Amino acid sequence: MKRIPIALSLLLIATASMMAQSNKDRDAIRKVMDDQTAAWNRGDLEDFMKGYWKSDKLKFVSGDKVTYGWQQTLDNYKRTYGTPEKMGTLTFSDLEIELLSKDAAFVTGSWHLKREKDDPKGKFTLLWRKFKGRWLIVADHSS
Domains of the chain with CATH codes: 28-142 (3.10.450.50)
Give the DSSP H or E segment for 76. helix 70-80
pLDDT category at 32 given cuts 50, 70, 90 is: very high
For 43, 104, 127, the CA distances from 73, given in Å and listed in that order, are 16, 21, 16
Q: How far apart are CA 29 and CA 134, in angstroms?
A: 9
What is the pLDDT at residue 12? 47
What average pLDDT is seen over the chain? 91
Q: Is the pLDDT of residue 3 over 50?
A: yes
Q: Give residue 77's identity as a one-letter amino acid code.
A: Y
Neighbours of 115 (CB within 10 A): 13
Assign residue 126 a region (left: φ > 0; alpha: ψ between -120 and 50; beta: otherwise): beta
Taking only the tens place, the pLDDT of each residue in 16-25 is 555 556 899 9
* Rounded Cα gap, residues 54 and 127, in angstroms: 14
DSSP 32-71: HHHHHHHHHHTT-HHHHGGGB--STT-EEEETTEEEESHH
The predicted model scores a pTM of 0.85
Per residue in 61-110, pLDDT (tens digit) is: 999 999 999 999 999 999 999 999 999 999 999 999 999 999 999 999 99
Dihedrals φ, ψ of 6, to 5°?
Answer: -65, -45
